[in-house]
Structure formats: structure tokens, C-alpha cells
């Protein structure tokens, strides 16, 4: 028994049909729900009946409908203050898996060729457009999509494309331009952009020039196998993406190894790496967008970046999501960054990864992961984010995602946090060598030190640092390690609070990206912080901090203090270096007690002190 129920033979007269309901059933116009006959003319006839005083809804019952050319959507108009009658439009099916449109052309299934697309609702159907695109709209208000699915897309095409300020030319209007105020109040709810066999080969949704209030809620973008973003927003303001999922698959179609015929596993790995390396587009692309919230979203499998920042983009919040990038192996070089900022996006700012983002990473042996985002512009800020990569499984020894920097709050109590030494290769001040042999080299042109320990026999090597006070004032403390690994392999650096037993471990990335690792620990009545290793290391230590409390942010660069004037009650220092001055400033109350060095210009340097004389005047005296 067919599930496509016949309908009674009713009149096609619009006025009589409207007495029954305000929607037109495409079956009454000859559409074939079995997908055998061409239903294009029937669908277009139904769309043409939607006009003022007639119908506002096209109803498409359960079935799949063959479409062979682009269907033109009806015109909509809002009511205005002159009491003009408004009219919208709805295209409604019987379910996201139940009513479908099958289209093999290279254009769109549905398209608006008017200057406005207003108050339109697309609901409860799927579109299969394996060579083309789904829906194309231009500017307008209240463009709504509910339970709509795009199940196949042409290469580089779109599931839905909402074009903003300028419409596509038509033969009748080759220079056509719209009124130019863009779209707004655009919404996608419970929609799917997904292709099972062969993968989704285009962009699920591209929205341009949505000037306010665009939302995506509970939408699913999945199985992408082409180098296009899932979701692309261009010049859009005030956008919310909430509870949406994004997934990109590894490349398919690579022949398996066949050693008997000379095809090795190394060949498979090389071809796989080459194919996956082409996937550089982010899952979500933001180009010149402002005030965007990505909330409680999920991304998984393999991707180079979850979010890509382009143009002048600002005010982006990524919060509450779970991002599981677990395909990094010898076959796949994609890094799974949270955010990648385009180097040309020099005016972008205020991109925040905030408190509830859950980041998990399943690595494979030998992988190099590195930082969680790439930002050469300096617009990404972290707020209490932590990488929850598990270490209780077979991947226990693999590296954790590193955080390049961690914000702007906190106070350090660890002495000599950048391990400064007076001599280039000298032992740093306030450092005790407890076990092992260490070599030191101050870094050029920046604070920090290169530390090497060459023993690789598993014996314990450690050096000791101290805090300015006992670490028992607060209930918890936070240890921060900022560095750059030079060894090429992931290292384990143990931290021993108190010098009695190792308390926690810092695992450095195997790559040479700058990293920041943090760890909290309970208060202990001690001033000792031991750095312990059991393997050879070669690492640049830029700074280490001990910060009271459960700190997740602290001033970057607080290991270096540059000040024009400082007042202190007491000062103790291992050495004070005076910068040469070209001339002595005037002797006065302001310079009284100042010590100044002048370059000798081939002779001995001269050191002067400003003194007040018995007659009340001031002068400089050489020391």
C-alpha cells in the first residue's frame, strides 16, 4: 500500500480553493510524489498562485519531486502605514526526511528574482541538488528556515545562499541593484546540511549583509569533504550560532596498500597527507562580521580550524562548546585549531574564547599539535579556558593542546621568574642546583633563558626556585610555565612544590611553538619550587609564575618591568645596570640622589651622583 494518499479532484480556481484553505497543494496541479515524472511545471504553477488575495502557502505532501529547472519564488510585500495589504509566503512539506526535491541541474532549486525577499518561511522538506545549489534569496526581513535539509550539493555550491545588497543580473534587468539595506531577522532552526555518500562538497549556508539579528539554532553541518566552509558569514552583524554541530571527514578514495603489487603503506600515508592538507578552510568563516556569538557548539573529526577570522571582524565570543579534533595522525596534517586569524585581517579585534569551552584532543603517536589558535594579528583573548584532553587512556604520553597566552590578571610571587643572570652563560640569580648538570644561556633581545640538561638515563635532575613568601596564604595557587621547546620531542617537566615529591607534570608540545601551560595546586607551607626532569631537554623558559588563587589570567610580560619612575621603601638587587646618558640633566630637587653613567667614548666610563650642597644648591659629582 502506497504511503502517498490520493487527494480529491478539486477546482483549480483560486477563489474557490481559498474557501477550503489558504494553501495550494502541488498534487492538485499534477506533481508526481514518486519522483518519476517531472514536477517542475506543477511546482512553478503552485508558486505562481501565491499572490495577494489568493494563496500564501505551497504545500508539498510526502514524496520526492523531480525538478529540472530553477523555480522562481513569488513576490512578498510588507504592510505599511498607508494601509497597503501585506503578503508573505510559505513553502511547507511534511517533514525534513519525508518531502524532498531532487534536482540534477547546476543552478538553484528555488530562487527569488525580485528586489525583496520578505516574510518567507521554508519548512519541513529536504533538497538533493548534487550538481547545483538549493535556495537563493536576496535582501529582506524575516527569512525563516525550519527543519530544512540539504542532502547533496554541487562542488563549491550552496545549500542556502542569502545575498545581501546586490541581486544577480537578469536578462530583463542586466544592471539590477536592490535598495541596498541588506537582510535582517534571518533564522535557521533545526536544519541539516549533510551528505552521506561522497561527502558534502560545498557550503551549507552563506549569508551576506545581514545587518542585524541572524540566528542558527540546533543546526547540523556534517560530512564535508571539500575545501569550503560549512557556514560562511560576510559583513553580518549581531549573529548567534547556538547548539549547532559541525563535522568534517577525512578525505576518501585513497587506494589501500597492496604490497604484493608494490603499493606500500608509506605511499598511502603520503597520498592521504597530500589530500587532507588541501583542507584549509575553517568550518565557520567570519569575514568582516561584528558581534557574533558561537555558543554551545560542537565540532569534531578533522578540520584545520573551527573558526576563521577574515576582514575587519570584531566582537566574537566562543563559549560553551565541545571541540573534539581526533584525526591527527601520520595520514592527516590538519591541526584542529580553535581559531585561525588571517594575517591580512589586521583590524580585527576582541575575539574571545571564554570560560565554558571544552576542548578535547585525541592524538596519535608521533603527532605534533601545537597551540590552540593562530593569531599573528593579536586579536584573540583567552578567558579561563582549559584543554580537557584525557590522559587516562592509551594516548597518555601524548601532548596536550598548548595555549599561546592567557589574558591579563594575577600577581606573581616566584623570584626571578624569567631566570635572569648577570652573565650570558651564568647560573640565574636565586636558583639552586640540587641534582644533575645544567647549562644556561640568556636569550638574545628578550627576557628568558635557554636551559639544557643532556642526561638521558632516567636519573633525576632538578634545580630549585623560591617564592617571596610561603605558599599557604591562599587555599590554592596556580603555576604557569611559558616557554618554547627546542628539542623536537615532547618533554615531561615535573614540578615539586616543597622539594619532597613531584606534584604535577608539564608536558611540552613537541613543536617549537610558544606555549603556556597552567596547573593549580593546594596551598603548602613552603617557599620551594623544584623543576625536575628525567630526560634530556632543550627548552627556552620565557617565564614561570606562581600566582595566588585559581588564576587563569595574568599580565603577560610581568617578568619584565620598565618604568620611568618608581618609589619603593626598600630595594635589594644582585646588580643594577645603568644606561648611558648623552649628557647630565640639570641638577635640581628632581635629580637629587640620582646616579648617572656617561659613556667614556674610548676612555673610562664616568659615574656621577647628584648632591645638594651646604648652601642649598645642587651639583653633579663624579664618583
Would you state the torsion angle of the CA atoms of residues 290, 291, 297, 303, taken in this order, to the nearest 10 degrees?
Answer: 20
Of the residues 503, 529, 548, which one is the last residue of a structural domain?
548
What number is the average pLDDT over the span 330-336? 77
The reply to whether 29 falls in a domain is yes
**pLDDT tens for residues 16-52?**
444 346 889 999 999 999 999 999 999 999 999 987 6
pLDDT at 258 over 60: yes
Q: Do 7 and 137 have their domain in common? A: yes
Asked whether the beta carbons of 92 and 55 are under 8 A apart, the reply is no
The pLDDT value recorded for residue 14 is 42
The pLDDT value recorded for residue 557 is 53
Q: Do 171 and 205 have their domain in common? A: yes
Residues 6+ apart with CB under 8 A from 475: 522, 523
Q: Give CA angle at 606 (604, 610), nearest 5°.
A: 175
Q: Do 450 and 330 have their domain in common? A: no
pLDDT bracket for residue 399 (50, 70, 90): very low
pLDDT bracket for residue 7 (50, 70, 90): very low
Find the helix or strand (DSSP H, E) in which 274 lies. helix 265-277
The CATH number given to whatever domain includes residue 483 is 2.60.120.260
Q: Do 88 and 219 have their domain in common? A: yes
pLDDT bracket for residue 170 (50, 70, 90): low
Q: Do 164 and 81 have their domain in common? A: yes
User: Among 432, 510, 519, which residue's Cα sits nearest to residue 481?
Assistant: 519
pLDDT at 525 over 90: yes
The reply to whether 424 falls in a domain is no
User: Whats the size of the chain, residue-wise?
Assistant: 623
Distance CA 389, CA 91 (A): 45
What average pLDDT does the chain have?
A: 83
What number is the average pLDDT over the span 448-461? 91
DSSP label of 87: B
The reply to whether 543 falls in a domain is yes
Q: What is the DSSP string of 334-361?
A: ---EEEEE-TT-TT-EEEEE-TT-EEEE
Comparison of pLDDT for 251 and 622, the residue scoring more:
622
Distance CA 530, CA 543 (A): 15
**pLDDT tens for residues 435-453?**
999 999 998 867 789 999 9
pLDDT at 589 over 80: yes
SS3 content of the chain, % helix, strand, coil (to 5): 5, 40, 55
The pLDDT value recorded for residue 276 is 80
The reply to whether 567 falls in a domain is no
The pLDDT value recorded for residue 323 is 78
Distance CA 150, CA 310 (A): 26
**pLDDT tens for residues 106-121?**
999 999 887 778 889 9
The reply to whether 606 falls in a domain is yes
**pLDDT tens for residues 304-323?**
889 999 999 999 999 888 77
Provide the domain limits for residue 284: 243-254+265-404
Q: Do 130 and 36 have their domain in common? A: yes
The radius of gyration of the chain's CA atoms, rounded to the nearest angstrom, is: 33
What number is the average pLDDT over the span 148-173? 80
Distance CA 129, CA 67 (A): 10
For β-strands 349-353 and 314-319, DSSP reports them as: parallel
Grid coordinates in use for 167? 541581486
pLDDT at 599 over 70: yes
| Overall pTM > 0.75 | no
What number is the average pLDDT over the span 452-461? 90
Highest mean pLDDT among 108-117, 182-191, 333-342: 182-191
User: Among 163, 176, 57, which residue's Cα sits nearest to residue 108?
Assistant: 163
Alpha-helix runs per DSSP H in 5-72: 14-20, 40-48
pLDDT bracket for residue 9 (50, 70, 90): very low
**pLDDT tens for residues 475-496?**
778 899 999 999 999 889 999 9
Comparison of pLDDT for 399 and 581, the residue scoring more:
581
Q: Do 350 and 451 have their domain in common? A: no
The pLDDT value recorded for residue 10 is 40
The reply to whether 563 falls in a domain is no
**pLDDT tens for residues 560-571?**
554 455 566 677
Q: Do 390 and 525 have their domain in common? A: no
The pLDDT value recorded for residue 13 is 43
Q: Do 396 and 441 have their domain in common? A: no
The pLDDT value recorded for residue 291 is 96
What number is the average pLDDT over the span 225-246? 93
Asked whether the beta carbons of 174 and 217 are under 8 A apart, the reply is no
**pLDDT tens for residues 110-152?**
998 877 788 899 999 999 999 999 999 988 888 999 999 999 8
Comparison of pLDDT for 564 and 422, the residue scoring more:
422
Distance CA 348, CA 518 (A): 27
Distance CA 285, CA 265 (A): 35
pLDDT bracket for residue 326 (50, 70, 90): low
Of the residues 363, 387, 404, which one is the last residue of a structural domain?
404
pLDDT at 63 over 60: yes
148 beta partners:
125
User: Among 147, 49, 153, which residue's Cα sits nearest to residue 108?
Assistant: 153
The CATH number given to whatever domain includes residue 172 is 2.160.20.10
Q: Do 214 and 250 have their domain in common? A: no
For β-strands 298-301 and 108-111, DSSP reports them as: unpaired
DSSP three-state, residue 277:
helix
Q: Do 399 and 368 have their domain in common? A: yes
pLDDT bracket for residue 175 (50, 70, 90): very low
The reply to whether 77 falls in a domain is yes
Domain count, the chain: 4
CA distances from 526 to 466, 480, 506, 545, 550 (A): 9, 18, 20, 15, 18
Q: What is the DSSP string of 561-591?
A: ---S----S----S--PPPB-SSPPPPSTTT
Q: Do 53 and 190 have their domain in common? A: yes
pLDDT at 523 over 60: yes
Distance CA 521, CA 477 (A): 5
Minimum mean pLDDT among 33-47, 540-554, 609-623: which range? 540-554
Asked whether the beta carbons of 250 and 276 are under 8 A apart, the reply is yes
pLDDT at 537 over 70: yes
pLDDT bracket for residue 556 (50, 70, 90): low
CA distances from 159 to 99, 125, 154, 306 (A): 16, 13, 9, 20
The reply to whether 560 falls in a domain is no
The pLDDT value recorded for residue 344 is 94
Amino acid at each position: 500500500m502506497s504511503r502517498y494518499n490520493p487527494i480529491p479532484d478539486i477546482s483549480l480556481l483560486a477563489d474557490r480553493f481559498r474557501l477550503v484553505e489558504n494553501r495550494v497543494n502541488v498534487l492538485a496541479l499534477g506533481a508526481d510524489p514518486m519522483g518519476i515524472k517531472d514536477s517542475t511545471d506543477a511546482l512553478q504553477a503552485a508558486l505562481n498562485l501565491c499572490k495577494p488575495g489568493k494563496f500564501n502557502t505551497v504545500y508539498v505532501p510526502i514524496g520526492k519531486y523531480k525538478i529540472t529547472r530553477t523555480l522562481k519564488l513569488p513576490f512578498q510585500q510588507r504592510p505599511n502605514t498607508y494601509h497597503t495589504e501585506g503578503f508573505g509566503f510559505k513553502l511547507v512539506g511534511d517533514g525534513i526526511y519525508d518531502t524532498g526535491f531532487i534536482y540534477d541541474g547546476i543552478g538553484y532549486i528555488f530562487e527569488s528574482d525580485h528586489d525583496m525577499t520578505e516574510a518567507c518561511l521554508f519548512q519541513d522538506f529536504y533538497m538533493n541538488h548534487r550538481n547545483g545549489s538549493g535556495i537563493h534569496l536576496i535582501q529582506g526581513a524575516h527569512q525563516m528556515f525550519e527543519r530544512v535539509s540539504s542532502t547533496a550539493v554541487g562542488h563549491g555550491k550552496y545549500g542556502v545562499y542569502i545575498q545581501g545588497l546586490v541581486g544577480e543580473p537578469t536578462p530583463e534587468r542586466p544592471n539590477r541593484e536592490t535598495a541596498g539595506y541588506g537582510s535582517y531577522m534571518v533564522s535557521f532552526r533545526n536544519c541539516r546540511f549533510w551528505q552521506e555518500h561522497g561527502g558534502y562538497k560545498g557550503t551549507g549556508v552563506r549569508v551576506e549583509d545581514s545587518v542585524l539579528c541572524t540566528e542558527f539554532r540546533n543546526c547540523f553541518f556534517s560530512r564535508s569533504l571539500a575545501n569550503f566552509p560549512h557556514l560562511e558569514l560576510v559583513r553580518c552583524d549581531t549573529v548567534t550560532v547556538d547548539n549547532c554541530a559541525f563535522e568534517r571527514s577525512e578525505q576518501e578514495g585513497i587506494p589501500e596498500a597492496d604490497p604484493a603489487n608494490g603499493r606500500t603503506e608509506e605511499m598511502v600515508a603520503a597520498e592521504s597527507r597530500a589530500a587532507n592538507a588541501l583542507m584549509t578552510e575553517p568550518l565557520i568563516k567570519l569575514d568582516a562580521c561584528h558581534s557574533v556569538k558561537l555558543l554551545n557548539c560542537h565540532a569534531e573529526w578533522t578540520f584545520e580550524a573551527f573558526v576563521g577570522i577574515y576582514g575587519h571582524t570584531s566582537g566574537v565570543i566562543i563559549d560553551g562548546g565541545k571541540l573534539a579534533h581526533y584525526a591527527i595522525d601520520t595520514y592527516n596534517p590538519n591541526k584542529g585549531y580553535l581559531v585561525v586569524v588571517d594575517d591580512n585581517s589586521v583590524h580585527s579585534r576582541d575575539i574571545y574564547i571564554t570560560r565554558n569551552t571544552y576542548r578535547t584532543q585525541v592524538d596519535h603517536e608521533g603527532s605534533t599539535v601545537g597551540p590552540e589558535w593562530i593569531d599573528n594579528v593579536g586579536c584573540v583573548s583567552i578567558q579561563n579556558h582549559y584543554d580537557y584532553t584525557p590522559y587516562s587512556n592509551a594516548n597518555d604520553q601524548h601532548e596536550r593542546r598548548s595555549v599561546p597566552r592567557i589574558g591579563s590578571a594575577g600577581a606573581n610571587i616566584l623570584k626571578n621568574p624569567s631566570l635572569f643572570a648577570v652573565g650570558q652563560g651564568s647560573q640565574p640569580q636565586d636558583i639552586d642546583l640540587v641534582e644533575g648538570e645544567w647549562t644556561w644561556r640568556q636569550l638574545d633581545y628578550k627576557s628568558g633563558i635557554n636551559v639544557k640538561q643532556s642526561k638521558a638515563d632516567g636519573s633525576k635532575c632538578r634545580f630549585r626556585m623560591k617564592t617571596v613568601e610561603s605558599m599557604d596564604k591562599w587555599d590554592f595557587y596556580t603555576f604557569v610555565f611559558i616557554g618554547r621547546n627546542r628539542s623536537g620531542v615532547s618533554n615531561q617537566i615535573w614540578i615539586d612544590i616543597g622539594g619532597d615529591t613531584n606534584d604535577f607534570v608539564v608536558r611540552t608540545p613537541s613543536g617549537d611553538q610558544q606555549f603556556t601551560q597552567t596547573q593549580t595546586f593546594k596551598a603548602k607551607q613552603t617557599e620551594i619550587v623544584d623543576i625536575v626532569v628525567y630526560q634530556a631537554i632543550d627548552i627556552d623558559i620565557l617565564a614561570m609564575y606562581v600566582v595566588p588563587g585559581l588564576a587563569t589570567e595574568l599580565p603577560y610580560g610581568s617578568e619584565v618591568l620598565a618604568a620611568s619612575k618608581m618609589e619603593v621603601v626598600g630595594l635589594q638587587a644582585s646588580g643594577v645596570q645603568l644606561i648611558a646618558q648623552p649628557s647630565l640633566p640639570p641638577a635640581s630637587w628632581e635629580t637629587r640622589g640620582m646616579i648617572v653613567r656617561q659613556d667614556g667614548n674610548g676612555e673610562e666610563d664616568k659615574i656621577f651622583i647628584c648632591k645638594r650642597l651646604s648652601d642649598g644648591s645642587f651639583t653633579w659629582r663624579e664618583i
